[in-house]
Structure 1
Amino acid sequence: MEEKLQFAVMIDAENVSSRYAPVIFDELEKYGFASCRRIYGNWSKENGWKEDVLLEYSVIPIQQFSYTSGKNSTDMAMVIDAMDLLYQNKVDGFCLVTSDSDFTRLAMRLREEKKYVLGMGESKTPLALTRACNKFVHLNLIGEANKDTASHAAQTRQDDAGMDNVTGIDNLENAIWTMLNESAEEELDLGFVGQRLSVKFPDFDVRNYGYSKLSVFLTEEMPLLRVHRENNHYSIGKSEEIPREKVEKEIFHIIRRNGGGVDNLAMINEELKNRFNGFDLKDYGYSRISGFLRSIQGLSVDGNVVRLKNKQ
């Protein structure tokens, strides 16, 4: 039996709501157990964390007065305690529960000492902090996915302004395509792909996007990829069908990446072939890339040059 990690859980009461308490400790169980549970805040003021919640989850409140207006004493107390625990070497990892980017350097420092850092906060958490952790859990998205249907959770994500700080599906898809293009195999094990995504994007979790299974997420959100199931084994490869809208989206991406204009149409054709396995203009009724580009609204083609119309 694999030995579980011992974590020191450190909660920033000023930045995380008490309604996430069940999610925090349910998620933590997947990575290890909490040998130390502390929550930091000014308990002379209302912060939403009631005594019954702290007792239920055996969390020790640490009082930290606000000695000076505008200064966050809670941050300093958490950092000092974390460093004390680090040098005592009594835990294998730290669970930092906060959406405050001020803890980014702490997360990096703990990882330098080979400690596993599990971050938890809302989806508004800046990318600097999420990427500084080994793994980051978006509590508001995970909480919705655990209790709602995928469609309901998807609507919740659309309404959440903080989704800008969650790894985009396009980034995930590009990473998978890179894996496939670099592999000598036509298909990759789905579990391997999931592990690679988690390493590259610490906040990656299909529940962030309203799904409970990676296979369903990829099937629904990435039609250019094909999920294959044989018995109970899943693998992923390139789909033989390439929807035109996906090709057009990639063309706009190529042009924007080149400053809004490309002076060599052949380059676009080559990039499309590299991006989409088996890409052929004839499948869309064209023999020349120039004709295909002229058929796309929003593009202007002049000789061997194509530009976005608003960039003319």
Structure 2
Amino acid sequence: MEEITESLSNEKMQFAVLIDADNISSKYAVTIFEELEKYGMTSYRRIYGNWSKGNGWSEGILLEYSIMPVQQFSYTSGKNATDMAMVIDAMDILYKNRVQGFCLVTSDSDFTRLAMRLREENMFVLGMGESKTPLALTRACNKFIHLNLVAEQNMEEKQSKTSEEIDMLDAVSAEEQNVTSIAEVRQVILALINENGGRQVDLARMGNRLNDKFTDFDVRNYGYSKLSTMIDQEMPDLHMRKISNQYYVERRSTLTKEELEKEICRMIEKNGGMVENLASLNDELHKKYKQLDFKQFGYSRISSFLRSLSSVSVHENEVSLKGGVPRRG
């Protein structure tokens, strides 16, 4: 997400923000506009609803965020006048050619066609709603943000939950969630590694692929602030490797310590029972096992790993076989 938001904000994209007050709680006001700052600037800020019924969006909140309220009475039972007003205003704004993007703040799937129509006009459509939002709407947007999950993550990071906020999070946890699953994320990561011939893939490229594939992808949906941490914690079959301040993702080796010990003994025996340079042994092992990482066995260096083996002896930079060589498989 960082790459996308950085490029958008550099272009100073102008947005029209249209909020469905009948469908979105005022408790998300701060989250809505904090997230918007990452994508660009707002030329229009409008909120639609029947203010005679009361919806939680107080005058104080509207003034604080400079949101213009649009009164919409329910003229006919069973018809959503707010939906119609938002659609009409969206099309009016579109044809004025003053914005490059729209932010539709709603969890109502009735706005799916509007999102699709705006994208047909080359508008960037940023959707915001709760995690119960139907997939049809989330996928119709260029990017969709689950407000309840982002708000929860932000509050955890700030470590300043009030009793009211805690009640809000408890209610959120019981709601239906239509969020891209971690299993789906993992499948995309594995597919990209396979496309790369089974070799490691840099994390930035991985993040771009996930954002392209899933419009609602955001590591905060799963309680994390970094993609690297999420992969490390949620995907035990994947391994994060850091090379020159750059992170890479690869499949974790299924090689056991016993199998590796047998191969080391075979290499030493083939070399006459001794290898005079640890580095050469390390190179040979990595040629055979592309994903080898001694950290998976609890060691940071090959020398420490070798000293833990009962079948080899390490003296300075030399490695030799002890009397008992493990039986080869």
Under a length normalisation based on structure 1, what TM-score does the superposition of the two structures give?
0.74
Measure how far apart 1:230 and its partner are. 2.3
Residues 106-121 of structure 1 aligned to structure 2 (within 5 Å): 106-121=114-129
Structure 1: which amino acid aligns with 2:175? A
* Residue equivalent to 2:173: 159
Residue 12 of structure 1, aligned match among 20, 33, 43: 20
Is the partner of 1:65 in helix, strand or coil? coil
Structure 2: which amino acid aligns with 1:217? M
Q: CA RMSD in A?
A: 2.4
Residue 31 of structure 1, aligned match among 36, 39, 59: 39
Contact 1:111/1:117 (<8 A) preserved: yes
Residue 106 of structure 2, aligned match among 98, 111, 115: 98
Residue 189 of structure 1, aligned match among 176, 197, 202: 202
* Residue equivalent to 1:205: 218
Counterparts of 1:241 and 1:24, CA distance in 2:
44
Measure how far apart 1:162 and its partner are. 2.1
* Residue equivalent to 1:233: 246
Counterparts of 1:171 and 1:157, CA distance in 2:
26
Measure how far apart 1:10 and its partner are. 0.1
Aligned residues between the structures: 243
Structure 2: which amino acid aligns with 1:86? L
Does residue 1:85 correspond to 2:93, yes or no? yes
Measure how far apart 1:44 and its partner are. 1.3
Does residue 1:168 correspond to 2:181, yes or no? yes
Change (3 A) 1:230 1:71: same
Measure how far apart 1:241 and its partner are. 3.1
Residue 228 of structure 2, aligned match among 215, 240, 243: 215
1:195-247 deviation line (CA, Å, top 9, x unaligned) = 1101110100000000011100000001111111124211111110389xxxx
Counterparts of 1:104 and 1:14, CA distance in 2:
17
Contact 1:141/1:208 (<8 A) preserved: yes
Measure how far apart 1:184 and its partner are. 3.8
Counterparts of 1:130 and 1:215, CA distance in 2:
24
Change (3 A) 1:158 1:74: closer
Does residue 1:141 correspond to 2:149, yes or no? yes
Change (3 A) 1:106 1:242: farther
Structure 2: gaps spanning 5 or more residues = 1-8, 257-289, 292-329
Structure 1: gaps spanning 5 or more residues = 244-276, 279-312
Contact 1:157/1:209 (<8 A) preserved: no
Under a length normalisation based on structure 2, what TM-score does the superposition of the two structures give?
0.70
Is the partner of 1:161 in helix, strand or coil? coil
Contact 1:175/1:197 (<8 A) preserved: yes
Contact 2:148/2:172 (<8 A) preserved: no
Contact 1:149/1:210 (<8 A) preserved: no
- Computing the radius of gyration from Cα coordinates, the structure with the larger value is 2
